[in-house]
């Protein structure tokens, strides 16, 4: 037992929606309830460098976070929140430089020196190519922006964490604990090598760069394994920083991490079970003092249903507070010290991670492994194997494939009120706001700042100062990213589907569907073709990838072009490929805008009779509306049997073609 209890970790809630004003009110409410840090969720247009009035932003504004396209919105977001007293985490990657610059300018307007700011920008672009898909530029220019930010903050904002290596989304995309360790650490190596090689930080100051790198990890329900994973992370990081970068100060080698526990395992069926899942996942990153998270944010029990309400977020915050303040956890030294079982598992994870790190480094490092598609393929395969185990009943998920009998739940008796609905006027208001912002600014100053940005992007000048000038001049996120797109170009990452492993021997059910696909194709005189499309800016492609893999295994010819497509592009591909069915995957809440747009384009292109199916986190009332409007089928997370989904797709194709 320790003489004095440890201080608890920073307690956050990942939040932001609709508008800067509404998000500001939510932040101040959460802080009043005992939250000790802010974690800002930005909407997809802000994350991918588009203004609210861009074509690709349709349906996405204010849905999964708050729209912050310009300095005025950033001012509103932190109104009456003193930034010199706040530790702010911003989940932002491709446009991280832009958001940090706006945060700095707002702080200066509050009279706060940049050197006093503390917080984190995620800024891990490599995992965006592998999981969330909110990248803008290719790996090389993206790494240049990251390098420039790190070099700037080490000198100008020394308490800031400019890079938060995010293995969280790797696990969400199917990574095993070994892959999560290996791919996160190879990402850190790629970034640190880039900063070192840029020459922007003197050699004798480089350990300060290493010391400001933090991590953001995931914790699944196998909490013993997750505890061991975190101990393995700490030991591997200490070894890499000491041996590869020569860091002598133990404080600079410390593995510093925050955590959001697993959302992948949250279920739509019997969602009340998610509460105990979240608690067990929290224990995996808090029980071991020597590997305890420095910041924790928990999802809400109903995130598989839709957007959590303030009360749901409060429940998750209270889970942390009960553990920290009612239990005796913080009164003891590391309770796993000397455990033979824990040490054996840690050693096993370290051995596996080192082998995978060596494999990636032999390919040329993390960037090369992204560009070749290796890491993406490995995770798609792991995810496919996990799904197959659930479908076969080998991996039990309570309430989904086992113990499915249930009493009616008072929590979900009225599903339409069990989640929060984003402000339906958020998009229109944001469009009006950004147009008004453009009208009141000095356009000549904006043009001059963006021209400077482009000139310096073509050189090796650090781009942070040019970005700050653009912020102060009144440029928008879409203009900043657009200027850099003209210099750096755009990029489409490998999907990982074509080279992923197969679950072709999945048993009688899949064999029966294969035969049905084959025979239906024979009746139509051609192989059945399925287009899997992701309209809008939603980059969470895990579901789309798994559907594409299973459809291929079921005998379909699959057309999947990846993320971030307009409805017109999806329909044009469907016409060109003469597909028999279109499947849309939408997890960002934009289905009620984008699905009708796709339907309209299908009719205009003469393929209105092709069945359209939709999958995603879709409230039941919305599903009913879409089916009434002609959508053939709607699938949500409760429909975990993908082979059954394939069977339904064939049925819809047969119905559309008048086959008995």
- Can you name the residues that pair with 633 across neighbouring β-strands? 613
In this structure, the answer to whether residues 524 and 380 fall within a common structural domain is no
Q: Which residue has the higher pLDDT, 424 or 513?
A: 513
In a domain, 465, yes or no: no
Q: Can you read off the two tokens belonging to residue 111?
A: 């009279």
Task: Annotate 101-127 with b (16+ C-beta within 10 A) or e (fewer).
Answer: bbbbbbbeeeebebeebbbbbbbbbbb
Active site residue 169: yes
Domain count, the chain: 2
- What are the E-state strand segments in 36-99? 38-41, 87-91
Query: Would you call 508 helix, strand, or coil by DSSP?
Result: helix
Whether the CB-CB separation of 631 and 595 falls below 8 Å is answered with: yes
For the stretch 140-169, pLDDT in tens is 999 999 999 999 999 999 999 999 998 888
| Residue 497 covered by a domain | no
Model pTM score: 0.85
In a domain, 311, yes or no: yes
Q: Is 538 a catalytic residue?
A: yes
Task: Answer whether residue 656 shows pLDDT above 80.
Answer: yes
The answer as to whether 92 is a domain residue is: yes
Q: Which residues pair with 634 in a beta bridge?
A: 614
CA dihedral 229, 232, 233, 236 (to 10 degrees): -160
Domain boundary among 352, 370, 392: 392
Judged against a pLDDT cut of 80, whether residue 264 lies above it is answered with: no
Q: Predicted confidence band at 499 (pLDDT cuts at 50, 70, 90)?
A: low
Over the chain, what is the mean pLDDT? Answer: 90
Question: What are the tens digits of pLDDT across the range 363-385?
Answer: 999 999 988 889 988 988 888 88
Which of 351, 375, 392 is the last residue in one of the domains?
392
Q: Is residue 588 part of a domain?
A: yes
pLDDT in tens, 51-78: 999 999 998 898 888 999 999 999 999 9
- Select from 339, 369, 392 the last residue of a domain: 392
Does residue 399 lie within any of the structural domains?
no
Residues 530 and 388 in one domain: no
Mean pLDDT across 593-613: 95
pLDDT at 411: 87
For the cut 70, the answer to whether the pLDDT of residue 498 exceeds it is no
The tokens 């490929």 sit on which residue? 577
388 & 522 share domain = no
The H or E element containing residue 15 is strand 14-15
Task: Please state, in angstroms and rounded to a whole number, the distance separating the CA atoms of residues 330 and 371.
Answer: 44
Task: Let me know if residue 3 belongs to a domain.
Answer: no
Residue 374 annotated in active site = no
Does 27 qualify as catalytic in the annotation? no
pLDDT bucket at 239, cuts 50 / 70 / 90:
very high
How confident is the model over 183-212, as pLDDT tens digits?
999 999 999 999 999 999 999 899 999 999
Q: Could you give the dihedral angle defined by the CA atoms of residues 425, 426, 428 and 434, in that order, rounded to the nearest 10 degrees?
A: 150
Name the percent of the chain lying above pLDDT 70. 96
CATH number for the domain that contains residue 606: 3.40.50.280
354 burial class (0-12, 13-18, 19+ CB within 10 angstroms)? middle
Are 75 and 106 contacting, i.e. CB atoms less than 8 angstroms apart? Answer: yes
pLDDT (0 to 100) of residue 4: 62
pLDDT at 504: 45
Half-sphere exposure of 520 (CA within 13 A, CB side): 28
Catalytic position from the list 63, 70, 345, 540: 540
* Active-site annotation holder among 169, 345, 516, 580: 169
Residue 14 appears among annotated catalytic residues: yes
Same domain, yes or no: 512 and 368: no
Pairwise pLDDT comparison (414 vs 520), residue with the higher score = 520
Residue 476 covered by a domain: no
Identify whether 383 is a catalytic site residue: no
Q: Which residues face 615 on adjacent strands?
A: 585, 635
Q: What is the pLDDT of residue 488?
A: 95
Whether 539 contacts 132, CB under 8 Å: yes
What is the pLDDT averaged over residues 459-478?
97
d(C-alpha 100, C-alpha 90), whole Å = 9
Catalytic residue among 345, 534, 580, 591: 534
Quick: pLDDT tens for 292-338.
988 888 889 988 787 788 889 889 989 999 999 999 999 999 999 99
Reported as a single tens digit per residue, the pLDDT across 331-361 is 999 999 999 999 999 999 999 999 999 999 9
Q: Which of 24-28, 56-60, 529-533, 539-543 is the most confident on average? A: 529-533
Task: Identify the pLDDT of residue 380.
Answer: 84
CB 475 within 8 A of CB 102: no
CATH of the domain at 350: 3.20.20.240
> Do both 385 and 520 map to the same domain?
no
Domain that residue 548 falls in: 508-657
* pLDDT: which is higher, 528 or 493: 528
Q: What is the predicted pLDDT for the residue at 467?
A: 98
CA distance 296 to 319: 11
């Amino acid at each position: 037992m320790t003489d004095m209890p440890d201080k608890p970790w920073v307690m956050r809630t990942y939040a932001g929606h609709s508008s800067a004003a509404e998000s500001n009110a939510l932040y101040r409410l959460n802080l009043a309830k005992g939250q000790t840090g802010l974690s800002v969720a930005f909407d997809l247009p802000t994350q991918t460098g588009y203004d609210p009035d861009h074509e690709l932003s349709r349906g996405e504004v204010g849905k999964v976070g708050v729209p912050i396209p310009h300095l005025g919105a950033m001012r509103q977001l932190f109104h009456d929140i003193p930034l010199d007293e706040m530790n702010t985490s911003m989940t932002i990657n491709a446009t991280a430089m832009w958001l940090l610059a706006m945060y700095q300018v707002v702080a200066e307007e509050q009279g706060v020196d940049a050197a006093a700011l503390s917080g984190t920008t995620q800024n891990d672009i490599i995992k965006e190519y592998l999981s969330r898909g909110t990248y803008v530029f290719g790996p090389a220019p993206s790494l240049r922006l990251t390098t420039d930010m790190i070099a700037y903050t080490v000198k100008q904002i020394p308490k800031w964490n400019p890079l938060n290596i995010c293995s969280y989304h790797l696990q969400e995309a199917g990574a095993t604990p070994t892959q999560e360790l290996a791919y996160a650490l190879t990402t850190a190596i790629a970034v640190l090598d880039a900063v070192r090689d840029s020459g922007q930080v003197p050699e004798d100051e480089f350990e300060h760069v290493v010391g400001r790198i933090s991590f953001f990890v995931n914790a699944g329900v196998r909490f013993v394994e997750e505890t061991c994973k975190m101990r393995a992370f700490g030991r591997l990081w200490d070894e890499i920083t000491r041996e590869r970068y020569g860091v002598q100060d133990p404080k600079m080698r410390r593995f510093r991490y925050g955590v959001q526990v697993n959302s992948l395992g949250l279920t739509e069926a019997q969602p009340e079970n998610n509460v105990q899942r979240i608690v067990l996942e929290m224990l995996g990153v808090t029980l071991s003092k020597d590997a305890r998270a420095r910041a924790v944010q928990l999802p809400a029990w109903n995130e598989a249903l839709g957007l959590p309400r303030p009360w749901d977020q409060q429940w998750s915050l209270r889970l942390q507070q009960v553990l920290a303040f009612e239990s005796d956890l913080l009164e003891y030294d590391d309770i796993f010290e000397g455990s033979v079982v824990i040490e054996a598992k840690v050693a096993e994870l370290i051995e596996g991670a080192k082998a995978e790190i060596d494999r990636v480094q032999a390919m040329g490092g993390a960037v090369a492994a992204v560009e070749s598609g290796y890491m993406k393929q490995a995770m798609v395969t792991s995810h496919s194997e996990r799904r197959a185990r659930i479908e076969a009943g080998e991996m039990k998920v309570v309430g989904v494939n086992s113990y499915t009998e249930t009493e009616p739940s008072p929590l979900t008796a009225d599903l339409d009120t069990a989640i929060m609905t984003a402000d339906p006027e958020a998009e229109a208001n944001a469009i009006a706001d950004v147009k008004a912002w453009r009208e009141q600014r000095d356009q000549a100053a904006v043009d001059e700042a963006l021209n400077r940005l482009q000139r310096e992007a073509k050189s090796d000048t650090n781009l942070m100062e040019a970005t700050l000038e653009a912020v102060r001049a009144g440029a928008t996120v879409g203009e900043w990213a657009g200027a850099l797109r003209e210099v750096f170009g755009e990029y489409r990452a490998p999907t990982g589907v074509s080279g992923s492993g197969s679950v072709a021997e999945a048993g009688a059910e899949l064999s029966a569907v294969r035969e049905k696909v084959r025979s239906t194709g024979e009746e139509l005189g051609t192989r059945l073709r399925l287009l899997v499309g992701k309209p809008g800016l939603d980059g969470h492609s895990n579901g789309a990838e798994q559907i594409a893999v299973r459809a291929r295994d079921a005998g379909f010819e699959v057309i999947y072009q990846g993320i971030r497509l307009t409805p017109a592009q999806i329909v044009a591909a469907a016409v060109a490929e003469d597909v028999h069915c279109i499947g849309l995957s939408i997890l960002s809440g934009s289905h009620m805008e984008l699905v009708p747009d796709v339907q309209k384009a299908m009719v205009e292109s003469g393929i209105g009779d092709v069945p359209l199916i939709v999958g995603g986190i879709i409230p039941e009332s919305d599903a009913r509306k879409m089916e009434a409007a002609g959508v053939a089928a709607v699938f949500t997370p409760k429909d975990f049997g993908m082979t059954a989904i394939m069977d339904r797709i064939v049925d819809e194709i047969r119905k559309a073609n008048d086959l008995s």
